[in-house]
Structures are given as C-alpha cells and as structure tokens.
Structure 1
C-alpha cells in the first residue's frame, strides 16, 4: 500500500487563503506546474529558493508513492521589460547588447540555470517545455479567446479585454485586487494607445521592424504574450484541470492572475486546484537588488568571492539554510544565519555518520515510531520543513546520547531510526553528505590532529582561551571538532 494512503497532506491554497486537504484530481497521481526562468541572465538566488521549495515538494510527493508529472517551463521569448506589454523583449535586448543571436543567449543561460540547480542537488522535472516550442498552440488558444468575445485585435496585436471578462468573472480573484482599484492606480504608459483600457494585456504583439524574434500568425508577424505561454504549456501537459500551479510570490499578480483569466475565457474554468506561492529571499534585511548593490549570485555565495559574506558556503549548507524556513515565509540571507546553518548541518551529518557505530540494547529509551510519525506530520502540514528539521535534531540528540551511554535503542528501532533519518534528510530535503578531497585528506588529517593535540595540552594547562581559539578558528574554515569521553574527532564541511 502506498504511503499516501495513510499520510494526508494539507496545502495552503493561495486562491482560498486557507490550508486545504490535498485530494488529487486523479487518485495516485499529481500534476504540478511551476513557472520557470526567463533565460536572459544568470539565475537569481531568489529564483533558486523558489525552485528549491518545489523540488522539495516534488520529492515528498514521490516519496509518498504518487506518480508525479512535474512540468517546469523555460521562457525563451515574449517576456518584455518590467513584466509589461511595452519595452523590449528581455532576451532580444541582451542579444542586441552582446551582438549575438537571441538563441545564443537562451542556450547560455539555460545551461547556467541547469548547472546551478544541479549544484544544489535538484531533481530534474518530468517535462521542461519552452515557449518557442509551442507557438502553434498559443495561436490556437488566442483564436479561441477571440471567438469567445474576450479579446480584440488592433494593428496586428491581440489584447485580452479585462473589462469584458470582469462582467461575468472576477479579475483579481487570486491576488485579491479589485478592478476598480487597478483602474484608479493605473498610469498611462507610452505604447499602450492600442488598448481599449490600460488594464488589458497582450496575447500577441506585432513585432516592430527591429524585433528579431518573430513568428507568423493570422494577425501579424509577432510574438506571444508572456502570460499566455504558461497557460498553454501547463494545460497541454497536465490537462485542462490539474492539481498544483506554483511559482514565486512576485508572479501572483499579474502573471498568475492573467493565467486564470485566459483559461476562464477559453475553457470556462480555472484549471488549477491548488495555487502555491513561495515567498521572497532578502539579503541582510533588505530586498535583493543589483541597482543598490545589495545583491549576491549563487556562484559568489558558494565561492566567497564577494564583499557581503565573510566566506564561501557549500551548496548543501545553503540548501539546509533555505530548508530551515517555511516556503511561505520571507527568508533573510545573512552571514550569521549561514554560519549557524553550517554548524547545524554538520551536527546532523555527524549524527547520521554515527548510527552504524552505535551499540544496541534490549530496550529503547526513545519512541522511534512516534518520532517518525512526527516527521511525516510536519511535512503533511503544508511541507513544514523547519518543524521537520527540529525533529531531525531530536534524533541527532538521541544518537549522541546513545553514543555517550545515556540512552538505549533496540536493533529494530535503530534500523527504523537510520532509514527514517536518511529518507527525510537525503531523499526529501535533498541534502547530500559532506565530501572530502581524497588527494589531500591525509595531510589535512595530520594537520588537524596536531591542532587537537595542542588544544588538549592547552586545556590541561587551563589555558581555555587558547583551547577555544583553536576550536573556533577551525570551525570558521569548516572543520568541526567533536569532543566525547573517547576523545576528540573532527569532521570537514563540504
């Protein structure tokens, strides 16, 4: 019997604003779509956090035994500057600045995107469609929306008629915005004179003579609207009604709002049962922004080649740091927070590495079965990874108590503890063990052993300041000393 028969998930649905019991449309199957990157620059660390949240969710569904189809697209055309209907296509602009073909830009940054996600141990999605690979389907959907009376053609461009749509539907149902408020707050922008109303959005844009990326359509040589692309790709691969649509909080309006409107206009329904939104990543308490200098990219964070962090952090420490917050919470990336996560990560890995060295007993002083269900309960409660990690540390504490002779465990409970700890740490949270450089490990071991000996001598001489200094400075470079009654050992971070 699959685990999902006994483990019942609740998901916070952005549409209803409440946690709802997860019941898939088709029993035993999960269809999930997540808005992927626009590949015109290196992937943003905030995007990494969003995709990491849905990677964790994907992993948990798979662990429970669901057959999951996870679709995450690549936007390689149609996304204009400022997420609006005016300005230049982001990819075309980058290609013009670098004097290369737009598809060279797409290739370069798609490869970068995959490389970065591989570094953080992401699972690949089931399908990764591109916007340019679905132009025909997008044209067909536009024709349906026009035929249903919710779009109009002006000078070769096609716009969605928001006011007409709002007569029989609710534009703003997801973001909880009212059309009258949007009308009041709308500025008049250059290039929008073709629209009946400023709130209308493009389904198809006629390409200007200098616009490189263009395709023939019944209305003009042009390109599709950004919002339309996700509507087409999600429903093509997941059906007219699917389980989960995810993305960053910044996409709720207008992107996801427009997706709902397009589907309602074409098919008469919102195709999504549960809308999920991952929250933002801040840097030192402020919005991450290149223009203000409050910005760090994944490579800089890992290498330490930046003026913001005191050192580089391993991919698994960064992943562990991000998993310590709920996907719905704003997360503040700080040096202190990463250092704390690094210590916690190594403490958890040390405990896992100890399991096979433990001695069993005829009785257990820790209810492993109850602890295991607490881990499931945390994940079942809207994928609450911070609570899960707290339970994993409870297990780490128990393991250290067994090692110190202050707790006992039966062989059966120890096996259950080991399997559960490995499952939630590696399979669900997506962490990997710390690695060592084998070519230099012997020299490293010898050097650290010398420092451990000097530290022991300092403690015997009651020079605790020197003892602490050796321990703390080793920790600063990722070498953790572990004191026990048997002596001092060390572990090296990844």
Structure 2
C-alpha cells in the first residue's frame, strides 16, 4: 500500500487514519433502498460512492464483507402516518411483497446498469423480524425502552443519562424538543423525541405481525441496527448512507446500538451529500427531479439529450462523495467528453504491450514523472476516497500513453518495469477502483474493425469517395477514424 488511507468520520468530524478493527477483514454496512418506488438519482449517487469505497478497500487487499439492506417493511416514516408499501399495494391491487419484489428487481437492474458490484449480503427487514423483537426485548429489559398502548418506544431521557443523543448530527435535545410538532401517537410517549421500536398497527395496515405487545410492525430505525450487528458483529468498521439519513435514522441506530451493546456500532460513519440541479436542490415539488432512466433517455424537459450510464457514473465520480453534486446540461456534456477521452485511452491501454527488443536509452525525467503520477493515484484515493483527484491523475497518465501511441515517447525510454507499472495503475484505478468500463460491446467492436479493414483497402486503392463515405457512416455511429503515421485506428467521438 502506498501511503495510509484517511477517511472523514461523521461521528468525530475529523479525518482519521483508517484502521480496521480486525485487519485485514473489514465490515461495511450501507443503508439500502426502501422498495416502494423507482430508484432515484440520490440512490444511484450514494450506492455508486460506496461501491467505489468497497472496490478500493478490496484493491488495497482488505477482505471486505459488504452488507446492504433492503427495507421491505411498510413501517411508518418519521413525521408521517403514510405506509408507502401498503399504499402502493392498495392502489395497484397487489400483495405488499409483490410491490417489494418489483422495486427490488428494478433496483438491482439499475445497480447493474451503472456497474455497481453486488454486496456480499443483502438482508431484508422482513427476514429479520425475530432478531428485531429480540433487540426490543433487550432494550426494554435494560430500561432503554418501554411499552405504551401496544407500541414500544425508545426512552431518550433515560438514554441521555449515560450517552448523548444527537452526537452524530450535532443536534441538541433542547433544540429538537422545540422543533417537535404534535403527531398521532405522541400522547403515548413519555417524551416527544422518543422514537418507535415497535408500532401498534391500525386495522387498515396491511403489513402487520402479532407479538406480546399486540399486532404491529417494527420501527424504521430498528432493522439496520439488527442487520448490521448480526452480520458484522457488535462493533464493525464502516456504516454509510446519504446525509439525509444522518438524522434521525443513523442517530437512532447509534442509540439502539449503545443501549443494546454499549457502543456506537460502527467505528467510521460516512455520508454522501445532496444533489442539486442548476444550483437548486433536486426536488419533485420543484419539477427539477429526474429518474436515472430519464437521464439516460433524455426524456425530461430540463435535459437537452440523454447520457450513457458510464457517462453518468463518470460525472458522479468527478465530485467528492461528501460534496454537493450539481446536475446541468453543461456539466453532463463535459462529462460525456471526459468519459469518452478516458474510454478511448482505456481501449488502447487494454491492447498495448511492451515491444521486445527496444533499444532506446532510459529517460529518467519521464520515468520519474510517471512513477509520481502512479503514486498520486494512490494518494488521491487515500485522501477520503477522492475520486475527483484520482480522475485528474489518470488523465495525466493517459497523456503519457497518447505520447506512446503517437511515437512522441518511445517504449524503451521507460523500460518494461515502468511501463507495466503505468499500465497496471491505469487499468486498476479506471476499471477496478472507479468501476468505469467501455460501453461498446465486443460484437460492435469487431464490426468496426471490419469496416476499418475496408476503409484501409479503399485508402490504399486511392478510392477517396469510398473513404469519405465510410468515414461519414462511422461518424454517424459516434466513431471517428484516426489516420496515424503507422496505423489506422478508431476512437469514440468526443
């Protein structure tokens, strides 16, 4: 490993050296989707960011267990009495689990489209009801929870005598109390801030289970405490999610973990930032929100065109995961050009090999520059997974490959060892770490090669009319012909 990995821990607000609890094994838990609607871009940004975290930890040689849950219980959401899954099931005349399966399948398809790796374990809330009931029992037994009218609530006042509710989000209990509005069920609580571990179900609530407290369903926050600690242990390394989950979801998780196990659960808490469109927060109510499929098809009034999945992934990785990401046609068009340039380089680097019998003398200046760029790729990712800086260094490395391709730089000036380091670094960080891939399938590439063979023959025969026609046809497909001194090649049009 070149240098030490440092991460910004949301819990301490500091950039800390990453030291796994049980090296080389790493446990990582990311809050997955609530499957009652289409995957939105915020989901894609969050899961793509943690996909890169997962990829980089594996790239460094850690043995990672990546757990990402599926929320498939139709529990009440905070500040709302709306059960989203039950509502959807009634509207579409479906069983709730049909709704769950439909949107789970859609979620998986979107993740695959953007080249996100599958987690090692993908547990569901409904599959862990017994464990949730066990945690509630333990919290009641220890005095951190109480039953009221068929519901069970977490006791914030009791918790605050030994711990600090709000330490992750930086919120103070007094401020939260002043902001709390009256909701149904508040009269059942000892304190307005107490949150539900188990909620008594109304007669029309579809997803419900019988327990010693009555018929009900688990609270939103409980499932993640249960599933993270079941598969990663009472203490594990990384807990991730969008910044919108920092409060109350992750705050409540910490409270549940501390009340049950005496610790926060995760050592490092990481959060992705929000999305904006032309500088304005992305929101359905503002009409500036679009789904991934709309972004790909260009099927939205705010979009000039559609963009490929890898262009969108590249665009997202151009910004640090903890920074606000602003969507605009200008930014997406620039990302299209950037991804295309990188993809053209990737095609060349995948195929190029160090030629035997080179005679050029080593160029120490070039060698030093290339080694430094390779090191910088590691340093950038070690700086809290800074993909934006990493991409910049990869483009610097690509300039060296372009010089090799055009003959401005000779292979012998680098030597095989440095060339191999250069190639391994570029491929490793582009494909394995950032998860970027070519979007032209192998059959399409073979067809392009066939056309280029015909193009070369026409050029040698000085049939320039055919040469121009073939060049124009390829251009319509987004392919440009590159007539170089010693060869004819093609590239994606930028």
Q: Give TM-score, length-normalised by structure 2.
A: 0.89
Is residue 2:292 matched to residue 1:298? Answer: yes
Count residues with an aligned counterpart. Answer: 472
Q: Check whether the contact 1:326–1:386 (CA below 8 A) recurs between aligned residues.
A: yes
Cα contact 1:352–1:418 (8 A) shared by 2: no
CA contact (8 A) 1:45 1:297 kept: yes
Equivalent residue, structure 2, for 1:15: 11
Q: Measure the CA separation in 2 of the matches of 1:483 and 1:163.
A: 74
Q: How does 1:46-445 map to 2 (within 5 A)?
A: 46-81=42-77, 83-84=78-79, 86-355=80-349, 356=352, 361-364=360-363, 365-367=366-368, 368-408=370-410, 409-436=414-441, 438=443, 441=447
Report the Cα distance in structure 2 between the residues aligned to 1:343 and 1:162, rounded to whole angstroms. Answer: 52
Query: CA offsets per residue over residues 247-299 of structure 1, 9 Å max, x none?
Result: 00000000000000111112221111000001112222222222221111111
Deviates more, 1:371-380 or 1:107-116: 371-380
- CA–CA separation in structure 1 for the residues paired with 2:292 and 2:476: 20
Residues 434 and 492 of structure 1 are in contact (CA less than 8 Å); yes or no, is this contact kept in structure 2?
Answer: no
Offset at residue 443 of structure 1 (A): 11
Q: Distance in 2 between matches of 1:443 and 1:11?
A: 45
Unaligned runs of 5+ in 2: 460-470
Q: Against the structure 1 CA distance between its residues 388 and 260, is the aligned structure 2 distance closer, same or farther, given a 3 Å change threshold?
A: same
In the aligned structure 2, how far is the partner of 1:478 from the partner of 1:425?
A: 22
Deviation (angstroms), 1:437: 7.9
Q: Is the 8 A contact 2:354 2:416 kept in 1?
A: no
How far did 1:89 drift?
1.8
State the distance in 2 between where 1:298 and 1:493 align.
23
Q: Which moved more, 1:361-370 or 1:390-399?
A: 361-370
Contact 1:205 1:225 in 2 (8 A): yes
Gapped regions of structure 1 (runs ≥ 5): 454-469
SS of the aligned residue for 1:406 comes to coil
Per the alignment, do residues 419 and 443 of structure 1 end up closer, same or farther by CA in structure 2, a change over 3 Å counting? closer
Q: Partner of 2:21 in structure 1?
A: 25
Q: Which residue of 2 aligns with 1:460?
A: none
Distance 1:254 1:398, change over 3 A: same
Q: 2:475·2:493 contact (CA, 8 Å) conserved in 1?
A: no
Q: Say which of 43, 63, 75 aligns to 2:39.
A: 43
CA spacing shift, 1:270–1:442, aligned 2, 3 Å: closer
Q: TM-score, normalised by structure 1?
A: 0.89
CA RMSD of aligned residues (A): 2.8
Bigger Cα displacement from structure 2, 104-113 vs 436-445: 436-445
